[in-house]
């Protein structure tokens, strides 16, 4: 199965979703190819995204933001947009299932450093739960699983 996570900058939300999906798929023994991209890719993955993912044991420090052209859309089984802007700019591909998770952008949060980190953690935890639920629903055909 091939899944793509799309947001605007591909610097936080979609990178975290990609990281969790790859990590969970490995732990569950699932054959899953995971992609992420942004409609307006940033220069780098947000350092706070890297930090809060590391807290969960998932290393996204080598990830790089990519544009929509990096996604082989016609080969995807599922495309998940993570913000309204991405939902509007992501191409519709006949025969490819599309879901929309409208998540707040932690990279645009304004506050103290501690408040920013806490906001990143809340968004990360939301993504973690959503990705876990998604992979669990895909695993149902293969029996039950326990969370790694």
Cβ 71 vs Cβ 33: under 8 Å: no
Catalytic one among 6, 37, 53, 83?
A: 83
- Expressed in angstroms, the distance from the first to the final Cα of the chain is 20
Residue 137 designated active-site: no
Residue 83 designated active-site: yes
Q: Where are the beta strands (DSSP E) in 15-139?
A: 33-38, 78-81, 97-100
**Rounded distance between C-alpha atoms, residue 92 and residue 36, angstroms:** 16
What region does 95 belong to: left with phi over 0, alpha with psi -120 to 50, or beta? left
**Rounded distance between C-alpha atoms, residue 72 and residue 144, angstroms:** 30
Catalytic one among 37, 52, 80, 90?
A: 90
91: DSSP letter: P
Catalytic one among 4, 7, 80, 135?
A: 7
Q: Tell me the catalytic residues.
A: 7, 83, 90
């Amino acid at each position: 199965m091939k899944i793509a996570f799309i947001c605007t900058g591909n610097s936080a939300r979609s990178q975290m979703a990609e990281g969790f999906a790859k990590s969970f798929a490995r732990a569950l023994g699932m054959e899953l190819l995971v992609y992420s991209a942004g409609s307006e890719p940033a220069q780098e993955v947000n350092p706070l995204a890297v930090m809060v993912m590391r807290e969960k044991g998932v290393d996204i420090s080598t990830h790089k933001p990519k544009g929509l052209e990096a996604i082989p859309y016609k080969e995807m089984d599922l495309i998940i947009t993570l913000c309204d802007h991405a939902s509007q700019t992501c191409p519709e591909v006949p025969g490819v299932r599309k879901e929309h998770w409208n998540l707040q952008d932690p990279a645009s949060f304004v506050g103290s450093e501690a408040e920013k980190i806490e906001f990143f953690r809340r968004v990360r935890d939301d993504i973690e739960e959503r990705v876990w639920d998604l992979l669990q629903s895909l695993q149902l055909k293969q029996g039950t699983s326990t969370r790694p």
